[in-house]
A and B are shown apart, each in its own frame.
Chain A
Amino acid sequence: MRYEAPATTKEAATLMAKEKGAAYVLAGGTDLLVRMKGGFIEPDLVVDIKRIKAMKDIKKLATGFQIGAAVSGAELGENAAVRKAWPGVVEATNLIGSKQVQGRCTMVGNLCNASPAADSVPAMIAAAAKAVIVGPKGKRTVPVEQIPVSPGKTSLKKGEIIESIILPKRPPKSGDAYLRFIPRTEMDIAVVSAGVSLTLDSKGAVKDARVALGAIAPTVVLVPAAAKAIIGSKLDDSAMEKLAAACSAACRPIDDKRGTIEFRTKVAGVLARRAAKIAFERAGGK
């Protein structure tokens, strides 16, 4: 195995593109090293992106926030501006692993690990976040939901690296939230999860909403029917029931060591309701 720590994104992408063997990007390494240790992968090249300055930055742009691919969960959590605009995304990212893992893990790593249970991903999808990809053919920007295609697999092409995540600028009266179910209080992978982002109209009813669910299908899924259930409402009981029903209906989970089909289907609706309520309150809804 070769280890490289280039100083620019372009160099990193070139290294990835040129490598004939198995090449992996190393950001926080909290998934990569586990897979290496378990013998699930045997990289020929590991490209450490933490020495790329642009990837360590959080920038406030006119269009929102640009969060570098090597920004750790802990660093993101310490950024007051992002926390204020996107509390749900930050909380979701800060739920990945322990404090120790937070010192290393990144949103982009979480996204590219392509687990349906990734904590930051439902929140990012609900937030309509975009990924900036750098590759041999230049830069492109895609919605984050297009990155994971199945457990462990992404749509990234040979030599492509995600450089940053763009979180859009927030209209007034907006809020987001992310909740997951885990058996313990910490250190678990989500059994089922829900991210909700919404904006209220002048009367305090939900104007726009996005609802995403985790660990209920091969990838995190955006559930337009769930958003539709609450748009126009002030989250009254009937809207909440419809939201929960739409979420449960969108579930295509499996039985595994972490939970059952029955449990995930039921609890997806419960969490979506609870997350919607938090997001609503954060948006100033009453």
Chain B
Amino acid sequence: MPLDNSFTGQKFKVIGTRPLRPDGIDKVTGRAKYGADASAPGQLVGLILRSPHAHARIKKIDTSKAAKLPGVKAVLTSADLPDLTAGDRNMYDMLENCMARGKALYDGHAVAAVAAIDMPTAKKALKLIKIDYEILPHVTDVDEAMKSSAPVVHNNIFTEGVEPTPKKSSNVSKRSEFGHGDVEAGFKDADFIVEKSYKTEQTHQGYIEPHACLANVGPDGQGELWVTTQGHFVFRNQCAQLLGMDIAKLRVTSSEIGGGFGGKTHVWMEPVALALSRKANRPVKIVMTREEVFRASGPTSSTSIDVKIGAKKDGTITAASATLRYQNGAFPGPWAELGAMTAYACYDLTNVKTVSYEVIVNRPKVAAYRAPSAPMAAFAVESTMDEVAKKIGMDRVDLRIKNAAKQGTKSSYGPTYGPIGIGATLEAVKNHPHMKAPLGKNQGRGMACGFWFNFGGQTCTDINIGVDGTVTLTVGTVDVGGSRASLSLIAAEELGVPYEQVKCNIADTGTLGHNDMTDGSRGTFSSGMATVLSARNAIKVLRERAAMMWEIPADDVVWEDGQARATGDSHGNLAPLSVKEIAAAAANTGGPIAGHNEIVADGAGVSFASHICDVEIDPETGSTRVIRYTVIQDAGKAIHPSYVEGQFQGGAAQGIGWALNEEYIYGKDGRLQNPGFLDYRIPVCSDLPFIDTMILEIPNPNHPYGVRGVGETSIVPPLAAIGNAVSSAVGIRMTHVPMSPPRILKAIEGAHKAH
């Protein structure tokens, strides 16, 4: 498969090296300050009272006793949060999610809050709040919620995307459709057709740091918020809008973030903390407990998916379709739609159609989780692909190679691809020693592909040159896993200075223009692009200043290896000027030297990965051990390869946990039964093998260095890769994630009985 190599020829000086991260010492000595690590003079403890019911009308809230308790400085209910959202449904949902308005919509939904002088007082105050609930019928399962007999969560939701719009409200907020060609005709052309249905359970991002913030608002409407977030500028805008504050008067500082994975892209208790602070006129700190994180932040969807793929004897896929039902929690979201867009993105298909349904249930509002919605769709499609290969009698990798999307392919979700890496990852799989290694008894091997769009978005960076020639790089994207290092590398590369001469800071919202979240794998892509452009602007200034110092035209000055050089014969004897020399003279040549850039970083290159994994099953207990795992992914260009590998490994580990053990378990009462790390089982160190990685570099032509986002794609293939491995080990197609021991044992026993 020919690749566009126009960027591969680039020679880099520091890009692709592995220097130590600049925030390393802070993070190994305990000095780094995370969300819960800040405090302010006179700060109060904020606590939130949460609904114990899955669905209940709030008939009355009596906060009078709590308010009278000595030491209580503010009590808050939705009555204190007037609707200022002016018809914006998303913002209204956010407001209602922060504090129930009339109805509690899920177990854990906030219903009231207090701020008190200390934790014991705050806890006591919560107990004094009396709420009169009328318990309503609830629904937590995605398929159940779609039935006409299901309790309706919102009576003002009428399915969008259906003609004519239904007159009756339901739990289906939207139907969407993607694809091209004629799938019915395609299935008629097929020699083989495989149809399967799948279910995946709800999982949580499982970041180790619970949500935490410290809010401080005065009666003059000026405020500050210290918060663990993936996007402090977005949090600022949302909090300001919800609370009727001026955006400029709310300064939000992002703390170090103890993991987010999409889960910290949404406000939960931050507006509540600000509102409490405003009411008490004192700083208020709220730190969620782990139980609150599970019950009341934003896990990903549980799903139910039907897949149908038809193929010719030679492996050509003639048609592919899927119906995807994604649970959105208690509010409408775009999650099924994302699943429908990504489902067949790896393949070059003539006839393809996906239909999605957004389903509302009595569970917490779904938030993004690393390549949101793609892993479940990939599980369904990639499991079916293996079944198709089996039915045809074709090698599963060859089947995928034959149908792989390439440059020029019209994707199943619409756009036509530029240079992409799916083919290259599949060829790498085919030739990888892992694929050829022998397997033992009760062992099985699986492989699967995954896709993620990646995202660019609004970005803004500053470069300021100090009088000593050192470089301050100021960015607005939160560093979730080492981006300070990669962005410093980019600034160093562009300016031609050593990495150590650059210091990267994450700006607060008062210091820099708006930046979108660190999400969509955009941190290094978009802030990297803005850093390149800022540096180029700074270089322009440096050249001009050197020209002034030399008293020659700026056009006669070039920038090479971190120095200004005079070109042409007329100024041949001038010694080059370093950044330091130019900076030292800045006061006399026009003042501070800086470069700025504000962009919408378009052109995030799509990303593909293929994973291989080996598992061993204990046939008597259904227990699965992952014994070998390989991630192959296109990074476009790896700026700091260690942190690229880290993203590959981390995503794979999360996917392995999802595939095998992680799930939200709801009781018949609609309450979450496992809101803790004891029974919500994320992988521990002894559960995993080393995770081998292979970084492919198929440059993204839209980025100056060819960078593609790398953060998310790695979580897409594991569910299917493990599903395929388990199915190959036990000889039974697993269709329900997680493939927990009871489910695997049941499948094995069922197969025995059938024989």
Binding site for B on A (CB under 8 A): 38-39, 181, 183-189, 191, 256-260, 262-263, 266-267, 270
Q: Which residues of A contact B661 (CB under 8 A)?
A: 183-184
B660 within 8 A of partner (CB): yes
Is B746 in contact with A183, judged by CB distance below 8 angstroms? no
B549 within 8 A of partner (CB): no
Binding site for A on B (CB under 8 A): 123, 291, 620-623, 625, 660-661, 665, 673-674, 677-679, 681, 683-684, 686-687, 740-742, 745-746, 749
**Smallest CB gap from A258: residue in B:** B679
Is B686 in contact with A186, judged by CB distance below 8 angstroms? yes
CA distance A105 to B686 in the complex (A): 21
Is A267 in contact with B620, judged by CB distance below 8 angstroms? yes
CA distance A188 to B622 in the complex (A): 16
Q: How far is the CB of B354 from chain A (nearest CB, A)?
A: 33
Interface CB pairs A-B, < 8 A, 7: A39-B123, A183-B623, A183-B660, A184-B687, A187-B681, A256-B673, A267-B620
CA distance A266 to B748 in the complex (A): 12
Q: How far is the CB of B620 from chain A (nearest CB, A)?
A: 5
Is A270 in contact with B621, judged by CB distance below 8 angstroms? yes
With A263-B741, A266-B745 as contacts: A183 and B681 at CB distance below 8 Å: yes
Complex A-B, nearest 4 residue pairs according to Cβ-Cβ distance, in ascending order: A263-B742, A185-B686, A257-B665, A270-B620
CA distance A133 to B621 in the complex (A): 38
Q: Which residues of A contact B686 (CB under 8 A)?
A: 184-186
Best-surrounded residue of B622, B679, B741, B742 (most CB of chain A within 10 A): B742
Is A260 in contact with B620, judged by CB distance below 8 angstroms? no
Q: Which residues of A contact B621 (CB under 8 A)?
A: 181, 267, 270
Q: Which residues of A contact B678 (CB under 8 A)?
A: 187-189
Additional A-B contacts beyond A39-B123, A183-B741, A257-B673 (16; CB < 8 A): A181-B621, A184-B661, A184-B683, A184-B684, A185-B687, A187-B677, A187-B681, A187-B684, A191-B741, A257-B679, A259-B741, A260-B746, A262-B742, A262-B746, A266-B749, A270-B620
CA distance A260 to B684 in the complex (A): 23
Is A188 in contact with B673, judged by CB distance below 8 angstroms? no
CA distance A189 to B123 in the complex (A): 29
Q: Which residues of A contact B684 (CB under 8 A)?
A: 184-187
CA distance A257 to B738 in the complex (A): 13
CA distance A183 to B123 in the complex (A): 35
**Smallest CB gap from A255: residue in B:** B742
Q: Which residues of A contact B740 (CB under 8 A)?
A: 183
Q: Which residues of A contact B623 (CB under 8 A)?
A: 181, 183
**Smallest CB gap from B742: residue in A:** A263
Q: Which residues of A contact B745 (CB under 8 A)?
A: 263, 266-267
CA distance A239 to B742 in the complex (A): 26
Q: How far is the CB of A251 from chain B (nearest CB, A)?
A: 14
Select which of B622, B674, B681, B742 is within 8 A of A184 by beta carbon: B681
CA distance A257 to B294 in the complex (A): 15
Q: Which residues of B contact A266 (CB under 8 A)?
A: 745, 749
CA distance A266 to B749 in the complex (A): 10
Q: Which residues of B contact A258 (CB under 8 A)?
A: 679
Q: Which residues of B contact A38 (CB under 8 A)?
A: 291
Q: How far is the CB of B407 from chain A (nearest CB, A)?
A: 43
Q: Which residues of A contact B665 (CB under 8 A)?
A: 257
Q: Which residues of B contact A39 (CB under 8 A)?
A: 123
Is A257 in contact with B741, judged by CB distance below 8 angstroms? no
Is B620 in contact with A257, judged by CB distance below 8 angstroms? no
Best-surrounded residue of A39, A188, A259, A263 (most CB of chain B within 10 A): A263
Q: How far is the CB of A202 from chain B (nearest CB, A)?
A: 33
CA distance A189 to B674 in the complex (A): 12
CA distance A101 to B96 in the complex (A): 40
Q: Which residues of B contact A189 (CB under 8 A)?
A: 678-679
Q: Which residues of A contact B687 (CB under 8 A)?
A: 184-186
Q: Which residues of A contact B622 (CB under 8 A)?
A: 263
